[in-house]
Structure 1
Amino acid sequence: MKSLVFLGCSQSGSSKDAIEAAKRLGFTTALLTDRHGFLHRRDDFPYVDRMVLVDLKDPWRVEEQVRSLIEEGLDVSAVVSFTDAHVREAARLSRKLGMPYQTVEAIERMQDKIILRECLREAPYSVPFQIVKAHHEVPSLTLDLPIVVKSPRSTGSKDVLFAASRSEFERHVAGLRARYPDGDVLVEAYVPGTQYLVEAVVHQGQVYVAAIVEQVVTFGQRFIVTGYSLRPSIPWKLAAAVEDMVTDICQRTGMKTGAFHTEFRWSGGGCRVIEVNPRISGAAMNRLIEHAYGFNLAEQTLRSLFGDTPDVSPRNSKCVYACYLTVNKSGYLKKVTGRRRARRVSGVREVFIKPRKNAYLTPPLSMGKRYAYVIAEADTERQARAAAEKAASHIRFHLRSGKTRRKGAVARKRRS
């Protein structure tokens, strides 16, 4: 039987959905992971036929393990990954082994934010930017304030910092230099406007837009997306601009096969790119699209890899909203209450709680610190959002400090 080897997986989200999709497509599945806990919770992964512990940061070890699986008789059709950390290595290794692969060079261009900005420099949807070199003692600022300061390798809002003053700019640059001593720093103009995300699949050089999702962004210490809204119809001007933008991104980066998503803001009647990532969005995005439009984007991405034209035509016509929850204090999780009440709210389709008992929770400094979500659907966007937020208001994370028990901290449903 044909097999797929997956590099890395989260305990939930699109990377998990992709392995489940592979099973539905008739593949046996092998997961190479560096998370020891997964092997101890093997029953949590019934869709994984073979799980192997390996250092995913060591390309030689990964390749050795894949070749070992092949020598044992596993009929490996491809090496794939739906996680940011391993998508490039999966594509590189699959190409080296003569198997279907996502365009390696395009992944590399998208993952380095400075290289990506250079690729998009002349594009109408790009934003003004500058590069602060690693070893320049006094950073100069040539852009108008406010600005956004980034590490070129940041993901999930980590190391993405807002600066409204010269002193904030200098402080953020110093902080990133301390963390990444030999790395340059990317500085971009801050663009106001409604934020969106577009999911796309590239098949034989042709771009297929799977979803345009409006985002609700909460600005605290980081830019954290706490709400996603999908609707059955998109204004034609926005849809046309997005189609032109993603097609141009595909051409400029050289993407021929694979999936990518672009975050952008609709500003001044046009798109302005925030970032591009060479994979499906993580967390609940695949589930959200399936609830809204009736197709599984992870499955369509795998089908495309093996030559089938992706079918991303909507089957449903409902408005769907996902509301994410964070905490406003740090502590160890004692318990979560309100799940049943949340599920009973009319229109709610899914309630997911990520952390386990005794996990240490913190306020969000990255997208990975969102600890639960609720997905709801309705006939209108307003109704879907109201249902999701009502359900989310019932969910409470009860925390204790590291030394003494105290009143539980309540999960804060952040609003834009």
Structure 2
Amino acid sequence: MTTPLADYATFAGKRIAIVEHMQNHPFVLGLHQARENGLEVWLLTGDRSWYTHGHDWDSHPLAAAVDRVIDVDTTDLEAVLAVVTDDAGRPLVDGLTSFSDYHTLLAARAARRLALPGPDPEAVETANVKDRLRVALGDVPYNIPHMLVSSAGELAEAARRLGFPMIAKPPAEAISYGVRRVDDMAQLTEAFEELTRVRRSLRGQPRTGEVLLETYVEGVEVSVETMTVDGHTHVFGVTSKDLFGDPAYIECGHTFPVPLPDEEREALYGVVRATLDAIGYRHGPCHTEVRRTETGWRVIEANPRTPSSCMTMLVTDVTGRSPILDAWLLTIGEVPPIEPVVHRGGAAVRMIYPARRGTLKRVAGVEAAEAVPGVQVLLHVEKGDKLLQRMDNSSCVGFTYCAGPDRLEARALADKAAACLDFVVEEDESENGACAAEAGAGGEDGAENGSGAAGIGRS
């Protein structure tokens, strides 16, 4: 990050517990920045190997970014409460939170039990369980027709009610896991059979095997980054959401801020605020994904956490406010001085995906990528790591990031740096395939489309 941050001195002398954590560079950087301002951080984790992937914990960036690591079952509310309270049941921390989709609900419940600041757990659960969000929104024009199915016998009725194409997804997952477009009954049946077998989340929580089906809405997708304080939702701005597209919807890049005409921007902000009001979300950050269609804005999902994939860096460099640090201020009961939000310049990030499955041997072209003016190369894989184990956002191996006077110039530079990177793998013959390399990167509109598979490494 290049933008000097506003004063976060009120962290001094405070302590927070974080239930699991995001691994990307901005979140680790946020930990260091918070601790530099006097915040003590406890990391609660149920499985250190989820972060290390076979490497040594002490060498992991998170190990040096927190004051204390507590090993505890982070799916067990009572176990979490036990490690953050004294013998009399009083909290040992000033705040407790999580940015992990799989743990935001437990963190909200724990904070509520301890009378610490936090969002309403019911609001968090409604946001996280996507069919509940649809039900909560009801018949407003920015909702999307949907149907939750639990048996193959319901598929014909879903096809009749929703029509094709439609989107099939798990009702409660993250990183675009399992999300795909289906265009006919054969694809719908195949998607249902695959998704209904998912009885554990990517972090081990039980799942029902139900599948959420939604009418496909055509349009350009963006996200709105917000911070809700005492029921009022402050907007940092709008982020582009570039996707690889059909059949899987995987993010490949973002720019910030997206310029919109005043009337369209106010309509979008109104939709986001109304969505958060509808679910009772009155406290904390949110990353709401919305699609612009011919008939108006449609809400894709609301995520009660800060955004990932370096989007917090985009916001910080353009606004001077860190959504991560501001969220932690709320966690300890402080009100971040968010408004007025002023945009200065623009920023872009390209998510990098390898072209082939296999074991990483080396990354070539890093020096050339780092030589592109204004670009940071942020890789999070090492020699020996297995690449492209699934086709979702977890396949991302790093980012090229750029901030500058203009978001489109920043995107061009980030793309240029990404094109330098070459992920050389030892291929597994049984898993070889074109994978993500054949997908195109969509821009914000027809005039701003990226050039092909921008941000994808070659091997």
TM-score for the superposition, normalised by structure 1: 0.90
Q: Which one-letter code corresponds to 2:96 in the other structure?
A: V
Q: Which one of the candidate residues 173, 191, 198 is aligned to 1:172? A: 191
Going from structure 1 to structure 2, the CA distance change for 1:138 and 1:75 (only over 3 Å counts) comes to closer
**Aligned ranges 1:8-19 → 2 under 5 Å:** 8-13=20-25, 15-19=27-31
**Equivalents in 2 of 1:209, 1:316: separation in Å?**
12
What is the aligned partner in structure 2 of residue 338 from structure 1?
A: 365
TM superposition outliers: structure 1 runs of 4+ over 6 Å: 70-74, 409-413
Note the alpha carbon deviations across 1:174-227, whole angstroms, 9 max, x for none. 222222484332111111111101111110000001121011110255201101
**Equivalents in 2 of 1:85, 1:274: separation in Å?**
19
**Cα drift, residue 131 of structure 1:** 2.3
What is the aligned partner in structure 2 of residue 212 from structure 1?
A: 238
Q: Which one-letter code corresponds to 1:344 in the other structure?
A: A
Note the alpha carbon deviations across 1:225-266, whole angstroms, 9 max, x for none. 101011374321331012111110121000111111111111
User: Is contact 1:29-1:49 (8 Å) kept?
Assistant: yes
**Equivalents in 2 of 1:72, 1:127: separation in Å?**
44
Going from structure 1 to structure 2, the CA distance change for 1:249 and 1:134 (only over 3 Å counts) comes to same
* Percent of matched pairs sharing the same residue: 24
What is the aligned partner in structure 2 of residue 42 from structure 1?
A: 58
User: Is contact 2:356-2:427 (8 Å) kept?
Assistant: no
What is the aligned partner in structure 2 of residue 241 from structure 1?
A: 267
What is the aligned partner in structure 1 of residue 288 from structure 2?
A: 262
Going from structure 1 to structure 2, the CA distance change for 1:411 and 1:301 (only over 3 Å counts) comes to same
SS across alignment from 2:94: strand
Higher mean alpha-carbon deviation, 166-175 vs 205-214, is at 166-175
Q: Which segments of 5 or more consecutive residues in structure 2 lack a partner in the other structure?
A: 1-12, 200-206, 443-459
SS across alignment from 1:374: strand
User: Is contact 1:226-1:325 (8 Å) kept?
Assistant: yes
User: Is contact 1:222-1:364 (8 Å) kept?
Assistant: no
**Aligned ranges 1:49-128 → 2 under 5 Å:** 49-67=67-85, 75-128=92-145
**Equivalents in 2 of 1:335, 1:312: separation in Å?**
45
Q: Which segments of 5 or more consecutive residues in structure 1 lack a partner in the other structure?
A: none
User: Is contact 2:285-2:327 (8 Å) kept?
Assistant: yes
What is the aligned partner in structure 2 of residue 31 from structure 1?
A: 43
Going from structure 1 to structure 2, the CA distance change for 1:300 and 1:36 (only over 3 Å counts) comes to closer
User: Is contact 1:328-1:363 (8 Å) kept?
Assistant: no
**What is the RMSD computed on CA atoms of the aligned residues?**
2.7
What is the aligned partner in structure 1 of residue 276 from structure 2?
A: 250
**Cα drift, residue 315 of structure 1:** 4.9
**Cα drift, residue 12 of structure 1:** 2.0
What is the aligned partner in structure 1 of residue 425 from structure 2?
A: 399
Note the alpha carbon deviations across 1:105-149, whole angstroms, 9 max, x for none. 110100111110001122221112222234746542221211101
TM-score for the superposition, normalised by structure 2: 0.82
Q: Which one-letter code corresponds to 1:10 in the other structure?
A: M
SS across alignment from 1:228: strand
Higher mean alpha-carbon deviation, 109-118 vs 296-305, is at 296-305
SS across alignment from 1:105: helix
SS across alignment from 2:70: strand
**Cα drift, residue 347 of structure 1:** 3.2
Going from structure 1 to structure 2, the CA distance change for 1:268 and 1:126 (only over 3 Å counts) comes to same
